[in-house]
Structure 1
Amino acid sequence: MSPTLKRRRDASTPCPATSADGSTCPASSGIGSGPQNPFKYGLPRGSAVIVLNDPETKVPIAIMDGTLISAIRTGAVTGVCAKYMAPSRSKTVGLFGAGPQCKTQLMALKASLPQLEKAYVYDPSRERAEKFAAEMSQKLNMDVQAASDRLATIESGDILVTATTATEPIIHGAEIKKGVYVAHLGNNEVDEGLILRADKVVIDDWETDKHRMDDTMAYMFRDGKIDDSRIDASVSDLVARRKSGRDNDDQLTYTCNVGLGLYDVAIAARVYQYAKENGIGQKLKLWDEPIMV
């Protein structure tokens, strides 16, 4: 792999967003990533805070934890994509990473594709993989097992999901058989060969991805190895039926969902409205009177 593909695993990512018509609260979501947090401090790898602002005055109206929102919305996007990109015969899922993100990925996939019967999870820590398998088997009433190794996970899945902090590829295009759907959540977990070999490539937002420059496809674009024509559709294209996903069960399909601030805003606005209607949360006073007007 080219040295240019390597990146830091610890990062802080600002995600500002608002709706085009101004009907949704403008907001900012700050997401921090500390890969060693679970092991050294007993904290989540990713943490986030969302600040919602009034659509008219832009004054802050809510501050909320965004860690769970971010995890669930990322899983939800994969679940939506699977409707269009997974093979119709899908029965098994191969998961890379035994952290919270793969939990929401599997939850969303099972909700989207109820016919799924079995999942295999691979993690460098066998203990974490077995704990994940036991928890998710009970939660989803599904057969979830700790995989023996990386290749066994690849060979097991009709759907493969990567949700790790890897800085080197853990999935190589030459290893993937036709008919599989690969859901890549960012970083450099897949090699360039997979991007070039895929029959269909879908991303949440290509312009945003190129700007963020933190995954395999973005670096390939920067280095002149692919151009805009490599992208077949966006997630919104699939949902709006502007473009098609998988055309047949023999295709190798691939999505890259690194995340959009817009997802956080949409969900946070709903959470805020629900909290108001049900008396959840507490009021914070920013000032008695504004000091400067």
Structure 2
Amino acid sequence: MSSKIEFRYLSEPDTIAAGVLDMPSCVAVMEETFQLYARGDYRMAGPNNDSHGARMTFPENPAIPTMPAHADERRFTAMPAYLGGSFGTTGMKWYGSNLENRDKGLPRSILMFMLNDTDTAAPLALMSANLLSAMRTGAVSGVGAKYFARPDSKVAGVVGPGVMGRTTLAAMAAVLPELDTVKVRGRSQAGIDEFRAWVGEWVPQIRDIQVVYSNEEAVRDSDVVAYCATAKAGDVENYPLLKREWLRDGTFVAMPAPANIDEELEDLSVRKVVDSYGLYEAWALDAPYPTHNFVGIIGCKFLDLVSEGKMRHWDIEELGAVVEGSADGRRSDDEIVLFSVGGLPIEDVAWGTTIYRNAAERGIGTLLPLWDTPALA
């Protein structure tokens, strides 16, 4: 038996050639991922095996002069997971983030993904993961829209025209064939211009792009809404706010970024769906109540409402059960659904495995040697 090991390196252009930007395929892969999640055929980190990952931050006033100080969005995070089914692979997304990167012409976060053979732990691929991560995050909202949005939805409202807003819109368009209009609220003209250009190239189904100047304008009269604006964790007063009075009956709202809701939306008549209940439980283990003050994703707010006695834990529904067929999706034309997207490492494994297999089949990427024989065995 040969002990030689080599793995495939995929640059960002390589991942594009291997189909990382194929949103309909990504939505289908995420749908399969949540079926496996519902069946328990996965593992993630943490004591409940549902953790987002392990995060390292820096102190506000480091005692070591050469150590970086805390800054907005400055952190390193490791996100390991195993996913079964047709995947059967294990992987980890590793990323560093710093808001100051934008002053250097770099994205806020720079991500890599390592894929391994589950049995031997041998590396299969190392790939650029900024696009992988952006696509899988957007695609999860697409899966949510497939099961919870009205199928005749025509108008989308997007708060935050950045990468997450673009991929979330693309994913919803992939499952809602009549969606043809978007109202977008952004902070800068440059962001709006980039949004227009990207949607024109990648979501030609959207024929009407309307620029609005408040969250309320983006939400009112929309059939589906995406809350994708960035906000500083812990600054709850400045989390983008969603009000019940802005929403017409039947609206589906995807919330993959920090956000808050008014008291009327806390009511049990508004359905609250999460990607993984255990994900928010894991965050609650790391951050004391109210967890939403530390992690801005709205699912943390949902669990805080449970702690306050305003909801019961079973009032919070999971996407996987709906995809797997053991729970209902949309029940009526007039129900409002809030969908929290926190981001599961199994999603990176699923889309990363798909891209790796596409690349291997098409001969894309560079094969790199690990060893012919290990020096220590």
TM-score by length of 1: 0.87
Check 1:267–1:230 CA distance in 2 against 1; reply closer, same or farther (3 A cut).
Answer: same
- Conservation of the 8 A alpha-carbon contact between 1:88 and 1:249: no
Q: 2:371 — aligned with what?
A: 287
Alignment pair present for 1:45 and 2:129? no
Q: 1:259 — aligned with what?
A: 343
Check 1:194–1:288 CA distance in 2 against 1; reply closer, same or farther (3 A cut).
Answer: farther
Cα separation, 2, equivalents of 1:44 and 1:128: 13
Alignment pair present for 1:163 and 2:228? yes
Q: Which amino acid aligns with 2:263?
A: G
- Conservation of the 8 A alpha-carbon contact between 1:126 and 1:146: no
Of 207, 216, 231, 2:278 maps to: 207
Of 175, 187, 201, 1:112 maps to: 175
- Conservation of the 8 A alpha-carbon contact between 2:149 and 2:252: yes
Check 1:280–1:170 CA distance in 2 against 1; reply closer, same or farther (3 A cut).
Answer: same
Q: 1:218 — aligned with what?
A: 300
The farther-off stretch of 156-165 and 195-204 is: 195-204
| Structure 1 residue runs without a partner (length 5+) | 1-6
With CA pairs under 8 Å and 6+ residues apart, which has the higher RCO, 1 or 2?
2
Check 1:51–1:241 CA distance in 2 against 1; reply closer, same or farther (3 A cut).
Answer: same
Cα separation, 1, equivalents of 2:219 and 2:75: 28
Q: 2:48 — aligned with what?
A: none
Q: For 1:223-238, list aligned pairs within 5 A.
A: 224-225=307-308, 226-232=311-317, 234-238=318-322
Q: Which amino acid aligns with 1:122?
A: R
Deviation at 1:254, TM superposition (A): 0.8
Q: 2:235 — aligned with what?
A: none
Deviation at 1:244, TM superposition (A): 1.1
Cα separation, 2, equivalents of 1:148 and 1:222: 31
Secondary structure of the 2:76 match is: strand
Deviation at 1:58, TM superposition (A): 0.7
Secondary structure of the 2:121 match is: coil
Of 321, 325, 346, 1:241 maps to: 325
Q: 1:183 — aligned with what?
A: 254
Q: Which amino acid aligns with 1:147?
A: V
Of 242, 245, 268, 1:172 maps to: 242
Deviation at 1:180, TM superposition (A): 1.4
Q: 1:148 — aligned with what?
A: 213
Q: Render the CA deviation track for 1:176-207: whole Å, top value 9, x for unaligned.
A: 323211100043x1236365136211111110
Cα separation, 1, equivalents of 2:181 and 2:85: 43
Deviation at 1:57, TM superposition (A): 0.7
Check 1:236–1:220 CA distance in 2 against 1; reply closer, same or farther (3 A cut).
Answer: closer
- Conservation of the 8 A alpha-carbon contact between 2:166 and 2:198: no
Cα separation, 1, equivalents of 2:100 and 2:184: 20
Give the number of aligned pairs. Answer: 284
Cα separation, 1, equivalents of 2:251 and 2:328: 17
Deviation at 1:98, TM superposition (A): 1.5
Secondary structure of the 2:371 match is: coil
- Conservation of the 8 A alpha-carbon contact between 2:146 and 2:175: yes
- Conservation of the 8 A alpha-carbon contact between 1:192 and 1:220: no
Of 138, 147, 160, 1:75 maps to: 138
Q: Which amino acid aligns with 1:101?
A: M
Q: Which amino acid aligns with 2:266?
A: L
Q: 1:26 — aligned with what?
A: 90
Q: Render the CA deviation track for 1:237-284: whole Å, top value 9, x for unaligned.
A: 121121112211211111101111111111111211121122111122
Cα separation, 2, equivalents of 1:193 and 1:31: 35
Deviation at 1:21, TM superposition (A): 6.7
